[in-house]
Amino acid sequence: MPAIVIVGAQWGDEGKGKATDHLGSQVDYVVKFNGGNNAGHTVVIGDQKFALHLLPSGILTPGCTPVIGNGVVVDIDVLFEEIEGLEARGVDTSGLKLSANAHVIADYNRTIDKVTERFLGSRRIGTTGRGIGPTYADKMNRIGIRVQDLFDEKILTAKVEGALELKGQILTKIYNRRAPSVEQTVEELLAHAERLSPYVCDTGLLLGQALDRDEVVLLEAGQATLLDVDHGTYPFVTSSSATSGGACTGSGIPPTRIDQVIAIAKAYTTRVGEGPFPTELHDDSGEFLRKAGWEYGTTTGRPRRCGWVDTVITRYAERVNGVTDFVLTKLDVLTGLEQVPVCVAYDVDGVRHDEMPVNQSDFHHATPIYEYLPGWWEDISDARDFADLPKNAQAYVERVEELSNARISVIGVGPEREQAVVRHALR
């Protein structure tokens, strides 16, 4: 049986959590393969609202095994806070599996994330301040701490000593901060080790065997294509591989086992943090989208920057991820507009670009070229079939689909589990 990947097509918060939940009952494993608690997924089930950060959204589906893969960076305190919060609301989290190879976010890396942002001033990235970047940097620098290190105090102490030799100097000499001691750091990391141990295993082996048994594995990305460290709007990106390729390295599942890639795209565009955003709106229309779409971050509460849909980006996402299906979310938010602009290409210094410019400075200077489609006024939140949508809403979806090079299989018409129009069943 196949592995399926879900990715974000834009700059995050497209509704990946809801899409994972939508598929939940049809899959046996849901794997988070990148990022950490910088993610924030809101899932609405009946009158209950869940905000997930580190745990995969599949944890809300009984019978589905949630897995945190090797590509994730784990804040252990946050992990237990989230587990306790869900258990208190009656969600069974006992089936959780955590990769022994996942890296752990140490306190010094949370500090370094925050002080680096302050130090950068106007060049800051606008990170979530969760220690994500410095922890991935340690992984690449080969001074990271992995989950498996927590079960051998001698090894852990040696690794923390090695890491602090460098990080301690950075904190004291560059940032004028107090560096934590080795003992203090080891103690903090060991605080939950015993509680962690039942969850820890070789998740690559577990998932490989599940696929051999014909079970369905869903790989759920945090962040999104334009936040990917290689394919995103570098340096205004996160520090992990958020595209479909990252699903392989972050889980241990090979590319030959993946046969479906579902990209989630909002019917408009949002971004949190700094960085270029060609269709961004600074006027009443932007405020309209922010209010109607309730565009405030699940993780940091920051207002999200809002703009019209950009099909240069969705086309790029289709190409980079090998998208088989798009899920177009939040179409309901566009209800009530006279006209709905669709960005079809960019103008960069008088030259038309139909594809994403490879040069970031061109992207910074890109002016959107719009097509204006007629809007609709009817409430679409109860639509369940494509034919239930007003003709102008159907035409909007069809035009975005045509410009994005892959079929739009599901359309979101509200935050709740059932609020979706299914044109092609995802499974």
Which residues are the active-site residues? 13, 41
Amino acid at 146: R
Could you tell me the smallest distance in angstroms from the CB atom of residue 293 to ligand GDP?
Answer: 6
Q: Whole-angstrom Cα distance, residue 49 to residue 64? A: 19
Main-chain phi, psi angles of 74, to 5 degrees = -115, 125
Look at residue 273 and give the partner it binds from Mg ion, ligand IMO, ligand GDP, none, a contact being a CB closer than 5 to 8 Å depending on partner kind.
ligand IMO
Nearer to ligand IMO, 273 or 278 (CB): 273
Site string for ligand GDP, 34-53 (x = CB under 6 A): ------xxx-x---------
Is 300 near ligand GDP (CB under 6 A)?
Answer: no
For residue 148, give Cα distances in angstroms to 173, 184, 264. 31, 19, 33
Helix (H) / strand (E) element for 159: namely: helix 153-169
Nearer to ligand IMO, 72 or 373 (CB): 72
Nearer to ligand IMO, 273 or 337 (CB): 273
Site string for ligand IMO, 195-234 (x = CB under 6 A): ---------------------------xxx--x-------
Peptide bond into 2 cis (omega under 30): no
Nearer to ligand IMO, 124 or 353 (CB): 124
Is 272 near ligand IMO (CB under 6 A)?
Answer: yes
Q: Whole-angstrom Cα distance, residue 10 to residue 313? A: 7
One of 10, 34, 37, 38 touching ligand IMO (CB under 6 A): 38
Helix (H) / strand (E) element for 269: namely: strand 269-271
Q: What is the largest CA-CA distance in the chain?
A: 67
Is 409 near ligand GDP (CB under 6 A)?
Answer: no
Amino acid at 195: R
Is 132 near ligand IMO (CB under 6 A)?
Answer: yes
Angle between helices 107-120 and 132-141 (to 10 degrees): 110
Q: Whole-angstrom Cα distance, residue 47 to residue 27? A: 24
Is 125 near ligand IMO (CB under 6 A)?
Answer: yes
Could you list the residues that contact ligand GDP (CB under 6 A)? 8, 12-18, 40-42, 44, 298, 329-330, 332-333, 412-415
